[in-house]
């Protein structure tokens, strides 16, 4: 093997390893054979969802009124599904929302986000974009400063999974 052959071989290995890191699709069959398939993702464990909701509610029974959740019926881009949650009760210095969480029940990590509020916020309203792996229920819980917990839940259908991409 000559110096020229060795240099060409080294350049090819460098290109193949760089392509593997960058996902350019320039992989040789030998490199492809060494890669393992990605593990299959599954939805959240129901016990995990229960643990999250119990920890948030602190023993209070969630009320199905006073909290509004807005989601599209169909999430045509599961990588960015718009959602809006709003506490519809009046906010005063003595009665206000302390915290709110959003749970994507079908995602491997169901707690999508959490928010904290003060009486100075004047409203408890959030607009977010969710990344969803499959059609599933979205649940929002809001904890009021007096210990009440409000809940809203809605199902959304998505066209394709994106969390595992």
**C-alpha–C-alpha distance, residues 30 and 18, integer Å:** 15
Length of the chain in residues, anyone? 165
Is residue 142 situated within a structural domain?
Answer: yes
Q: Are 103 and 32 in contact, with CB atoms under 8 Å apart?
A: no
Residue 14 shares a structural domain with residue 72: no
The predicted structure's pLDDT at residue 71: 96
Domain that holds residue 58: 46-158
Q: Binning pLDDT at 50, 70 and 90, where does residue 1 land?
A: low
Is residue 39 situated within a structural domain?
Answer: no
**C-alpha–C-alpha distance, residues 99 and 144, integer Å:** 7
**C-alpha–C-alpha distance, residues 155 and 85, integer Å:** 14
Per-residue pLDDT tens digits for 87-139:
999 999 999 999 999 999 999 999 999 999 999 998 999 999 999 999 999 99
**C-alpha–C-alpha distance, residues 63 and 68, integer Å:** 12
Number of domains in the chain: 2
Residue 29 shares a structural domain with residue 51: no
Is residue 164 situated within a structural domain?
Answer: no
pTM over 0.75: no
């Amino acid at each position: 093997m000559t110096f020229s052959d060795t240099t060409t071989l080294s350049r090819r290995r460098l290109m193949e390893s760089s392509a593997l890191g960058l996902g350019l699709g320039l992989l040789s069959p030998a490199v492809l054979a060494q890669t393992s398939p990605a593990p299959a993702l599954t939805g959240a464990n129901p016990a995990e969802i229960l643990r999250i909701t119990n920890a948030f509610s602190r023993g209070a029974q969630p009320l199905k009124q006073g909290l509004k959740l807005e989601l599209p019926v169909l999430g045509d881009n599961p990588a960015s599904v718009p959602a809006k949650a709003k506490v519809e009760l009046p906010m005063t210095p003595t009665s206000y929302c302390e915290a709110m969480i959003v749970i994507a029940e079908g995602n491997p990590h169901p707690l999508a986000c959490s928010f904290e509020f003060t009486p100075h916020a004047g409203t408890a309203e959030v607009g977010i974009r969710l990344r969803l792996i499959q059609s599933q229920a979205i649940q929002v819980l809001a904890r009021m400063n007096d210990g009440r917990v409000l809940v809203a839940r809605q199902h959304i259908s998505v066209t394709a999974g994106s969390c595992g991409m």
